[in-house]
Homo-oligomer: A and B are copies of this chain.
Amino acid sequence: MRHVLIVGATRTAQIDGISAAGASPGMVAHTPSADAEIVAFGQPVRSPMAPASPTGCPTPAVVTRAVRELLGFDLLTVDTGLITPTAAPTVTAGAEPGHDVREAVAVPTAEGISATARALGEGVPDDDLLIGESIPGGTTTALGVLAALGEPYMVSSSRQDNPIDRKTDVVAAGLDASDIERGDLAGDPLAAIAAMGDPVFAGLTGFVRGRLAAGRSVTLAGGTQMIAVAAALRHLGVDEPLNVTTTSFVADDETADVTAAADALNVELTVIDPRFERANLEALERYVHGEAKEGVGMGGALARAQDAGISQGTVHRRIEQCITRLESADGS
């Protein structure tokens, strides 16, 4: 098994109230770079600290790292346009962060990113692939792509309270700036990503297309961003089976009905309950209260641990070890 982690950035994350993927607004730019380092090395290397939300909720990268330590799976990180450098080894599919979706063009290089990721997805030989992402602001840009495609689904949030009004306003401003109406780009997801998406979205879509073109399957490990990717693939005419594996935190989010969206898109939805309320870990309490929810392939990684017969108690203990290591690395 290999985890394909597609990372990048969008200036959309800097809009006030959009992203909780950083302890402070200034830290958000480091989040995908640090997430990749945590999955690769178990701790930040070039990045200044481990990502956490303003309330101290640790990044889902620690969950994926914990499962990686238990299962020993391989990693392929794809950089579609980070703001800060990462010490995690990456394949480069894009050179710059996405623009604020409220500009006319959000991802000028969407086609190039998609083509590079597609070739990579076609070439990677592993039988079992889990594809995840890290991009602060990614649910807002996903909502932007869905709007351009004319799809009605609402996205979830890494915040406890989904700032739906804020996201909807940003997307409306983005459609205006791009001079398009909702649904104008139905059937043309690359144009929708260029106008309203982010670099990671372009990478995810391209990678999965390549994988399917090679006659192989892939698990989309994530929440409503992955549902939006599935929608984009359906608009491309992809009719192969698609699986999205996510956490119960996303599935239980009533602001975004992921089950209905999966049904409508003919996507198989696998939901894993991390049972963090049983972990007796203060650091995971924020998850139980609906923060973070998903990201960095967390739900898919937990599902693979379950498939391998690893108990949730073992996973929880390993998460605790990973968090303790991060705390001592931050303090050193």
The tally of residues in A whose CB lies under 8 Å from a CB in B reads 26
Query: Ordered nearest first, which 9 A-B pairs have the shortest CB separation?
Result: A89-B89, A45-B123, A72-B72, A89-B90, A89-B91, A77-B89, A41-B125, A76-B89, A43-B125
Query: CA of A77 to CA of B88 in the docked complex: distance in angstroms?
Result: 9
Q: Which of B75, B87, B119, B124 contacts A91 (CB under 8 A)?
A: B87
Chain A 110-125 interface residues, beta-carbon cutoff 8 Å to B: 119-120, 123-125
B residues near A41, Cβ cutoff 8 Å: 124-126
Query: CA of A77 to CA of B89 in the docked complex: distance in angstroms?
Result: 7
Give 1 or 0 for each of A300-328: 1 = CB within 8 Å of chain B CB.
Answer: 00000000000000000000000000000
A290 at the A/B interface (Cβ < 8 Å)? Answer: no
Query: CA of A41 to CA of B89 in the docked complex: distance in angstroms?
Result: 14
CB distance from A280 to the nearest CB of B (A): 27
In the complex, 5 of the A-B residue pairs with CB atoms within 8 angstroms, ordered by the A residue number, are A42-B125, A43-B125, A46-B123, A87-B91, A125-B329
Asked if residues A89 and B75 are in contact (CB atoms below 8 Å), the reply is yes
Asked if residues B90 and A45 are in contact (CB atoms below 8 Å), the reply is no
Asked if residues A124 and B90 are in contact (CB atoms below 8 Å), the reply is no
B residues near A124, Cβ cutoff 8 Å: 41, 45, 87
Query: CA of A74 to CA of B46 in the docked complex: distance in angstroms?
Result: 18
CB distance from A321 to the nearest CB of B (A): 14
CB closest residue in chain B, given A37: B123
Query: CA of A45 to CA of B78 in the docked complex: distance in angstroms?
Result: 14
Asked if residues A88 and B91 are in contact (CB atoms below 8 Å), the reply is yes
Query: CA of A91 to CA of B43 in the docked complex: distance in angstroms?
Result: 16
Query: CA of A74 to CA of B119 in the docked complex: distance in angstroms?
Result: 24
Chain B CB within 10 Å — which of A119, A124, A126 has the most?
A124
B residues near A120, Cβ cutoff 8 Å: 45-46, 87
CB closest residue in chain B, given A4: B89
B residues near A77, Cβ cutoff 8 Å: 89
B residues near A119, Cβ cutoff 8 Å: 46
B residues near A125, Cβ cutoff 8 Å: 41-43, 45, 329
Query: CA of A120 to CA of B87 in the docked complex: distance in angstroms?
Result: 7
Chain A 59-91 interface residues, beta-carbon cutoff 8 Å to B: 72, 74-78, 86-91
Q: A45-B125, A119-B46, A126-B41 are in contact. Are A91 and B90 (CB under 8 A)?
A: yes
Query: CA of A178 to CA of B41 in the docked complex: distance in angstroms?
Result: 41
Chain A 9-52 interface residues, beta-carbon cutoff 8 Å to B: 40-43, 45-46
Query: CA of A125 to CA of B78 in the docked complex: distance in angstroms?
Result: 22
B residues near A45, Cβ cutoff 8 Å: 120, 123-125
CB distance from A19 to the nearest CB of B (A): 25
CB distance from A323 to the nearest CB of B (A): 15
Give 1 or 0 for each of A173-217: 1 = CB within 8 Å of chain B CB.
Answer: 000000000000000000000000000000000000000000000
Query: CA of A40 to CA of B4 in the docked complex: distance in angstroms?
Result: 13
Chain B CB within 10 Å — which of A42, A78, A120, A125 has the most?
A125
B residues near A126, Cβ cutoff 8 Å: 41
B residues near A78, Cβ cutoff 8 Å: 89
List 19 additional contacts besides A45-B125, A77-B89; criterion CB under 8 Å. A41-B125, A41-B126, A42-B125, A45-B120, A45-B124, A46-B123, A76-B89, A86-B91, A87-B120, A87-B123, A87-B124, A88-B91, A89-B89, A89-B90, A89-B91, A90-B90, A90-B91, A92-B92, A125-B329
